[in-house]
Structures are given as C-alpha cells and as structure tokens.
Structure 1
Amino acid sequence: MNLRERDIIANGLRHHVLEWTSDARDERADRDGADTIVLCHGFLDTALSFEPLAERLCAAGHRVVAFDFRGHGRTAWIGAGGYYHFPDYVLDLDRLLPQLAGGRVHLLGHSMGATVCALYAGVRPARLRSLTLVEGLGPPEASFEATPERFSDWLDGVGRVDTKGTTRGGGAHPAGSVAARAAGRRVMPDEAAALARMRIGNPRLSDALGARLARYATEPGPGGEGRVWTFDPLHRTTSPMPFRVALFEAFARRVRAPTLVVVAEHGLRLPDERARLGFFDDARLAEIPGCGHMVHRDEPDSLARLVLEHTRERPTA
C-alpha cells in the first residue's frame, strides 16, 4: 500500500492532499472515478484522521483520497479579512474534485465534512456515484432570533483572534494578518500534550494513530519551542450565520446519489434525525454500536464494511 502526499491549488488556496493506493493499482486505471472514494474530514480534524478507514478501503481495491479543508491540517489559511463559511468549503470541494479524480466519484464526509458533502451533492448531483454521511446530517438548528447575538459573539471573537498575536513572535504584526493569528496560538509543551487534548474528545484514540495525528496536526511553536495546532484560530470563533434545517432540506432533496447515513450509538445524535434522513430521495441509516463521534478512528472495520457494501451494491445508473 502506498501513501502519497501532495499540494493542489484550488480556489486560490494551497490544499494538502493524501492519496492511498494499493501496490498493484495503476494510477491511470481509474480515469472515470469508479473506484475512487474521496473523504472529507470534520471540524478541527485532518485528512490523516481517515488513515485506518482509508487503508481498509484501499485493501479492498479502491483508490482513496482525502484532503485538509482550508485552515485545517496542512492546508493554507485564508488571508487577512477572510473567514470560513460552509459555501467556501463547498466551492473548494467543487474546484478540488476534478483534480482528484475524473468522472463521478464516491464521496464520504464526517461531521462538518458530511454537511459539506450533502450541500455539494445537492448542487452537483451528476458528479457523484454514491454519498456517505458519517455523523453528519447538519448541526442542531439555531433560531433567527439569536442571530444578532451570534453576530456580536462573532465580532468579539474575531477581534480577539486578530489582535492576540500582534506583539508576539519577535515583532509587531498587523491586526488580522495571518502572522498575527499564527503568533497568537497557545503553545503546548510537546506532541504528547497535543495527544492528551485530542483524547478529551476521543478517549479511544489509539497510541499509534494518536501519535501520528499529534505530529501531523501540530508544528513547532515560536522560536522552535513546544508545539502549536496548525488550524487557523479563527475556527475557534462563533459562526455568525445560524444553521437552518429548511435550507439543508432544500439541498438534500436535490441529491440523486444513493446515500448512506452512518451514526454512532454514542455519537452526536439529533432529535430530528429521522426527519432529516427523509429529505433524501434514496437514503438508508446504519448505526455502529459501542462507539462515539469519531467512528472512522474507533471502528474502521465496521465503517469500512458499510462503505464497501454501499459502493458495491448501490451504484448510480
């Protein structure tokens, strides 16, 4: 099995891409995308998080590609004055896919990445052979009435991120600049500290994968001391726009690819889960017992079996 890392420019940003292929696979053999599965990670996660799942899908004959979303992992941050909204992620995905595989592909997303995939599948239905949404039918709905307060929190949060690092890192940085945001990051002692923080939300994270993720998702702090997360601190701020189920429904009803929705027994379950599932024309629900939100890390065998069955037995016409 081979893992290749490369950078691709999409929508003007450098995106970091991981590609798993079997030793026997000819890279030219999947020109129509029939055997390619593209994986989209969740909030503050990275492409490498999919490694256990990707290895199993690859062993079954698939070419597997994952990438770090903008401002995550080893993909570039947006510049001064920018922010991270769902339409931006959808636009990035639209620009990335033609460079990752020809023809129609199998698309899988986890959590935030699943929401991005669902939105994309609703506006580019002809690009997909199948859609798999893991722990991701959108976040809980927020009210319109709370939007002014969200905007206030957003303005205050962005202001703190923009100015926190203006006088750190050996010099003055313009407020809001990438340099200021980078200089304002909290420094952790080492990769072990990063792993400990990841385990707060993912207690079952293995030592081996955890060590690789801690190294991949961090970089040396100022002056080479300690480690800092590679994600943009702007992600820690409150998004100003509320999530609306009716808007999600409008996209989901346009999806034409057979859709598999995977939930974890102890994951982030929604009270209106069944209603949201019903928005899709051709969808089924599968639950993986005994695990939490990070299904792809904790139960890669179970998830791989579901994905392989879905991509094999329910192809689009």
Structure 2
Amino acid sequence: MTFDSTTPVTVGDLTFDARFAGPQDGDPVLLLHGFPETSLSWTQVAPRLADAGLRVVAFDQRGYSPGARPQGVDSYATELLAGDVFGVADALGIDTFHLVGHDWGSAVAWLAAGTRPERVRSLTAVSVPHLTAYNDALRNDPEQAEKASYISVFRQPGVAEDLLLADGARRLTAIYGDAVPTALAVRYVAHLGEPGALTAALSWYRAMGAGLGSVPRTAVPTTFVWGALDQAIGRVPAEACGDFVDADYRFVELADIGHWVPEQAPDALADAVLERVRR
C-alpha cells in the first residue's frame, strides 16, 4: 500500500481516512495536516521519515474525512479534535508516539501534548506556535492582528464558502500561491469541494473563541518550525513560542519559506522532525 492511498480507521461513530508509511514495528509518528489541506500535505515528508525507520500515520482529520464529518459547529471544538488524535492512536494499538502538526494541525498538536504529555514522546509544531504566544500576539502585536484578519471572514457561515468556491474555487486555489505543487493543490481543492467538506473544515474556525484556543504549558520535548515569510504567523509569536515550553526546545527558522512548510520545504522539515525524534 502506498502513501497515496487511504485506509479507514474507526473511532467510535467516526471513520477517518488514514495514510501509512514505514515499518509496522517502527517508532510511531502521527502527522496532522492544516487548512485548507489534507493528509496528502505530508506526501513529500512521509517517505523521509519512513526511510529513517519510523511508522508514519497521517489521517484526514475531523471534517476532512467523509466518514468523520458530524453536523454542527460544536462538533469541531479543539478539545474534540485533540481527542481524535488519541482515538486514532488507540484504534491502531499505539500507546505513545511522536506528534507533528502543521497549521491547524499544529494547534491540535499543542493541545494534545499539553493535556496528555504522558502519551506524546515529542512534538514538532509547524507554522503555528504555542497558542498562548499566538493569542498574546493577536491582542498586542499589530502585525499579527493584520495577518489574522482573514479569520473573521472564515467565521461567517455561508459567506466564506461562497467566497472561496466562487469562480471555480479561484480564491481557494490562490491561498496556496506558488508554494504548493499544482497537483497537490488541485487535489486539496477537489476534496474541499465535496458536499459539506468546506463547511466542516471552516467549522474549526467557527468553533474557536477569541483566539485559537487555550492550552496548558507544554512539558513535552518540542521543536517549532517557522517560515520567515509566513503569511499568517508573524515573528513576535514565533519567537515567543519557547516561553511556554517546559522541556527541551528548539526553534527552527526557515529563511525564504512561507506558510506551506510541508510542501515548500519538506527536506528541512523532515530533518527537524528526525532531529527531534532522535533526541
């Protein structure tokens, strides 16, 4: 089975589409994608991790998997999204694991690591820093407030869907810029164009509070990877991230890289993950 194909993983009433790579007996690493992407965002990272002997698991998260697309904004609270991580791990017989998340996947990973550190062996957060650092910057840093202005649009039911899917999903496609390979962008857009998919994905934004949510300080060994040209996350919260990690911490800044790190800098990201796992 290739990483391009999916296998169903059932967690309670939900069924997630998961991709696998690497040896079954390798140290497990769970990869969480962001918006507007799917688990395919790890296409260029997963083989590097698998070649290093890791058991790679990447799944389409709640709302992205057709079998895990419940109705109602309340079904997309960040605590439920973090719970899905452990639910998938349990379904696969995985006790402890390394965790990697990008964008919204990073937000979920911070909460998972913060609330259940006994199960997360290491954390590699990509693009989105610790949520306390992010929320502080959202309130106090004009640059971050400007970079986050799109969120208010995404939180408007119906308005965001119409805006992003109009004209053949021109605006949705434009979000990726030149950083995401065209073949991947086409598949993301097609996936989110399925009935109910975009609304479910946007429900993550609609379920959040004034910021991306609150999480405890993190006691898990952590690496934070940030592209210096990130369109959504500014330097202030990126540099403050480590203030909320009570464990070994590494900040990896990627010059000339924007928000789409898994697609734009897969080798550098894989190196950061492997360095963290080996530590």
TM-score bracket relative to the smaller structure: 0.7 to 0.9
User: Does the CA-based 8 Å contact 2:224-2:251 persist in structure 1?
Assistant: yes
> How many corresponding residue pairs?
257
Give the unaligned 5+ runs of structure 1. 144-152, 162-180, 220-227
Give the unaligned 5+ runs of structure 2. 140-151
**Structure 1 residue 260 and structure 2 residue 260: aligned?**
no
State the SS of the aligned residue for 1:98.
helix
**Structure 1 residue 204 and structure 2 residue 179: aligned?**
yes
The structure in which a higher percent of residues are helix is 2
Q: Structure 1 residues 258, 195: CA separation in 2 closer, same or farther (over 3 Å shift)? A: farther
Relative contact order, higher structure (CA 8 A, sep 6+): 2
Which amino acid in structure 2 is aligned with residue 90 of structure 1? A
| Residue 11 (structure 1) shift | 4.4
Give the match for residue 304 of structure 1.
270
**Structure 1 residue 7 and structure 2 residue 8: aligned?**
yes
Which amino acid in structure 1 is aligned with residue 122 of structure 2? S
Identity among equivalent positions (%) equals 28
How many Å separate the matches in 1 of 2:37 and 2:166? Answer: 18
User: Does the CA-based 8 Å contact 1:11-1:91 persist in structure 2?
Assistant: no
**Structure 1 residue 242 and structure 2 residue 210: aligned?**
yes
Q: Structure 1 residues 185, 208: CA separation in 2 closer, same or farther (over 3 Å shift)? A: closer
| Residue 65 (structure 1) shift | 0.8
Q: Structure 1 residues 274, 61: CA separation in 2 closer, same or farther (over 3 Å shift)? A: same
> Which region of structure 1 is more displaced relative to structure 2, 77-86 or 49-58?
77-86
How many Å separate the matches in 2 of 1:262 and 1:95? Answer: 26
| Cα deviation 1:136-183 (Å, max 9, x = unaligned) | 11344466xxxxxxxxx89x945x58xxxxxxxxxxxxxxxxxxx9xx
Q: TM-score, normalised by structure 2?
A: 0.78
| Residue 287 (structure 1) shift | 0.8
Matches within 5 A, 1:55-74: 55-74=47-66
Q: TM-score, normalised by structure 1?
A: 0.70
Give the match for residue 84 of structure 1.
76
CA RMSD of aligned residues (A): 3.2
Give the match for residue 44 of structure 1.
36
| Residue 238 (structure 1) shift | 3.9
How many Å separate the matches in 1 of 2:94 and 2:201? Answer: 33
| Cα deviation 1:283-316 (Å, max 9, x = unaligned) | 110111111101000110111111112212x1xx
User: Does the CA-based 8 Å contact 1:40-1:114 persist in structure 2?
Assistant: yes
How many Å separate the matches in 2 of 1:201 and 1:110? Answer: 14
From 198, 222, 228, the counterpart of 1:231: 198
